[in-house]
Amino acid sequence: MKRVVFNEERCKSCELCINACPKKILQISKDKMNNKGYRPAEITDNEKCIGCAFCATICPDAAIKIEEV
Ligand code: SF4
Ligand code: SF4
């Protein structure tokens, strides 16, 4: 199984990953804020992730990694 891991401190809330996700399971956090003052992207439903890595590939700040668990 694959898992999406965010480096929240790198995220700049650009939303590219959210738009790229075919399963529509990414969102901008409503309650978190990183040290740069951005609300980081997060996954809403890990179970639905197909591990396609579109999100990780499109992120300009290399804030997303796909891990095998
Ligand atoms: S790996 Fe694919 S399905 Fe999973 S969150 Fe990223 S874009 Fe969405
Ligand atoms: S593409 Fe990267 S920088 Fe942009 S919202 Fe997603 S995780 Fe954050």
Cα 32 to Cα 17, 26, 68, distances in angstroms: 17, 14, 25
Look-up: residue for tokens 């804020």?
33
Question: Which whole number is the average pLDDT over 47-60?
Answer: 97
pTM attached to this predicted model: 0.95
> Residue 1: its pLDDT value, please?
85
Ligand 1 centre and the CA of 35: distance in Å? 25
| Ligand 2 atom 4 nearest Cα | 14
Angle at 42 between CA 5 and CA 27, to 5 degrees: 145
Question: Which whole number is the average pLDDT over 3-11?
Answer: 97
pLDDT (tens digit per residue) in 13-41: 999 999 999 999 999 999 999 999 999 99
Distance spanning both ends of the chain, measured CA to CA: 6
Decide: 38 and 7 in contact? Cβ < 8 Å. no
> Residue 51: its pLDDT value, please?
96
β-strand pairing of 64-68 with 26-28 = unpaired
Domains of the chain are 2-68 (3.30.70.20)
